[in-house]
Structure 1
Amino acid sequence: MSDLPEDLTNPELVAETELAFEGALRPHTLAEFVGQKKVRGQLELLLTAASMQGRTPDHILLAGPPGLGKTTLSMIVAEETGKPLRMTSGPAIQHAGDLAAMLSSLMPGEVLFVDEIHRMARSAEEMLYLAMEDFRIDIMVGKGAGATSIPLELAPFTLVGATTRAGLLPNPLRDRFGFTAHLEFYDPAELELVISRAARLMGFEISADAIQVIASRSRGTPRIANRLLRRVRDYFLVHQSVGDRSAVDAALELYDVDTLGLDRLDRAVLRGLIERFKGGPVGLSTLAVSVGEDSETIEAVVEPFLVRAGLVSRTPRGRVATEAAWNHFNLSQPNVL
């Protein structure tokens, strides 16, 4: 007989569980949200004060690396205020007219979430200044000397902007947000809570030490933790395993996730740096070519974690593999004269 719970062997129950999981994975209130304690406290104060005064909450900017909960927090803001949520992204707003059409259709108190807001077109950014401050926009009608500016009043709304690169936002836009939250990476204990909750929603049992293994390899990011948990769940199902540590180790090894949470590309970059360039220093573009990847991918996706994990140092002369990187591959670092 299988040791798997019925939820993982009955197709109908699996389908229902998946649908429930997709809908319930994101917390719906600040009380359910795990981690980011300081940000949660700040948001709770902001939303409560706005509710007590009967006004629309100030505009909110959520800044931080991908996968830490910016989209989830925007949904929570709408849920806590009891208002509708409108979602879009910076790359989707390439003309001022796109933004004008969206802003003019907002209901009073509605929450507008703009993901990757730093990638919005400059003309739309400039229109947003007046909309955020005075809840109105100026629409130009006609061209040339006969052009006329028509003011259009907007319903009060709350803009929630999310960005992974706050430094790319122009100062006039950044200064118009009433509150800026900087999301931090999660510690393993917080990730264990995230994984435990997700496993419970998925309807299968996993041991505490197995949860610790997943948390330790999730790079401080809930999105990665949930993704690894689902792959581990698939492994349990296919191999008729129980949720113990040995099965988790086997599943993560199959998916090329090592003990530090490094994936195939991470290890390729480190090995290239160590084996081809003797640990560096080496320029970013040269390193990217050596592993067959785009330099922007290396800089934006791979390098931040390697630097944070103490495996790579960024120096004026280029990237350098640290002693920890050599040790991770059981290699001896050459003496540097």
Structure 2
Amino acid sequence: MSEERSRPVDPQADDAERAAESALRPSTLGEFQGQPRVSEQLGLVLAAARNRGAVADHVLLSGPPGLGKTTLAMIIAAEMSAPLRISSGPAIQHAGDLAAILSGLGEGEVLFLDEIHRMSRPAEEMLYLAMEDFRVDVVVGKGPGATAIPIDIPHFTLVGATTRAGLLPGPLRDRFGFTAQLDFYDDTALRRILMRSATQLGVRLSTEAAAEIARRSRGTPRITNRLLRRVRDYAQVKADGTVSLALARDALDLFEVDDRGLDRLDRGVLEAVCARFGGGPVGLSTLAISVGEETDTVEEVAEPFLVRQGFLMRTPRGRVATPAAWRHLGLTAPVGAPGSGDDLFS
């Protein structure tokens, strides 16, 4: 075994690496890039609450994964100088689960519920009363002898996050005092995030390389930082640690991220639609089987990006590849291939 492979792990270096990774998240609204409208509106809401000496209104954050909803929840807690409690909708399957969390909160504490649309209905109905009146009713006993015991809870701020706002019932959505829709980031914002992250990680990153990584990041900061870490690894092993444009391209090609941001799954879906099914239409379940993935993975991970890039269309008869998809794969669409006819939407 070589000396490099047998080298023991340095605990101090590992701690420093973890500290650098955690520092990638911005800690203030001023550092939060790419969502200027949301940052300005949320900053106003929080500043007004601080001036009144009151707890901030409940906040609902919606948008695709990786855009900064968890980071914003942490920033809200920091801006209000309040503790943060983190949980998720799928973890709260019974009203008692929620009652235990709410009764354990401190005055002014921020409760972050990720994927809030996946919370159980009984817990959701308990949350209505907690958000409005800061009270929960705990039912003791069963049947005709059951008794509801009201329990006052401290004033708190609920920050709910969802990737599917349409699944939230209206009564719950209406109880949030501020709702923010996070949008995908443009390349300029992603470049700024990259340069900040590179500084935190100690990576020497050229502006051209930053632009290349940003262009392949699908408008998502989480993907941006993930690609930066992989490019950093490539630079440390294959070069002197400096990330140039050529090195960034080589690294991203190695990790199968093409010049439009498509990864292995995305290209697999497009190749299946074009090469195996003649451009479509093809049903979701058939498409998922052909690429060896679950239907939820294809529908929620690959499809949104492919549709947004204009490579795939959802039609009443199934998924259809567009002319842009054929061109991106370097294929020639056969005569009569679907993708442009109005009959698809009839």
**1:304 and 2:304 correspond:** yes
Match of 1:167 in 2: 166
Q: Distance in 2 between matches of 1:292 and 1:18?
A: 35
Contact 1:216 1:261 in 2 (8 A): yes
Q: Distance in 2 between matches of 1:16 and 1:102?
A: 31
Instruction: Please state how far the C-alpha of 1:259 moved relative to its aligned partner.
Output: 0.7
Match of 2:53 in 1: 54
SS of alignment partner, residue 327 of structure 1: helix
- Total equivalences in the alignment: 328
Q: Distance in 1 between matches of 2:327 and 2:147?
A: 67
Instruction: Please state how far the C-alpha of 1:20 moved relative to its aligned partner.
Output: 2.5
**1:22 and 2:21 correspond:** yes
CA deviation string 1:217-269 (max 9, x = no partner): 00000000000000000001111243101111111111111111111111110
Match of 1:5 in 2: none
Higher alpha-carbon deviation: 222-231 or 245-254? 245-254
**1:184 and 2:183 correspond:** yes
Match of 1:7 in 2: none
Match of 2:259 in 1: 259
Within-5 A mapping of 1:1-337: 14-15=13-14, 17-241=16-240, 242-336=242-336
Contact 1:288 1:294 in 2 (8 A): yes
CA deviation string 1:278-312 (max 9, x = no partner): 11111111111111211111101110000001100
* TM-score, normalising length: structure 1: 0.95
Q: Distance in 2 between matches of 1:15 and 1:276?
A: 47
Q: Distance in 2 between matches of 1:140 and 1:289?
A: 46
SS of alignment partner, residue 205 of structure 2: coil
SS of alignment partner, residue 149 of structure 2: strand
Instruction: Please state how far the C-alpha of 1:334 moved relative to its aligned partner.
Output: 2.2
- TM superposition outliers: structure 1 runs of 4+ over 3 Å: 10-17
SS of alignment partner, residue 274 of structure 1: helix
Q: Distance in 2 between matches of 1:336 and 1:166?
A: 38
AA at the equivalent of 1:331: L
Q: Distance in 2 between matches of 1:192 and 1:82?
A: 30
AA at the equivalent of 2:247: A
Q: Distance in 2 between matches of 1:69 and 1:107?
A: 25
AA at the equivalent of 2:54: R
SS of alignment partner, residue 233 of structure 1: helix
CA deviation string 1:11-68 (max 9, x = no partner): 6885354133122111110001111110001100100111111111110000000000
Q: State, as a whole percentage, how many aligned pairs show the same letter.
A: 62
SS of alignment partner, residue 148 of structure 2: strand
AA at the equivalent of 2:314: R
Q: Distance in 2 between matches of 1:213 and 1:102?
A: 44
In structure 2, runs of 5+ residues without a counterpart are 1-8, 338-346
SS of alignment partner, residue 38 of structure 1: helix
Aligned-residue RMSD, C-alpha:
1.4
* TM-score, normalising length: structure 2: 0.92
Q: Distance in 2 between matches of 1:151 and 1:23?
A: 40
Q: Distance in 2 between matches of 1:51 and 1:13?
A: 39
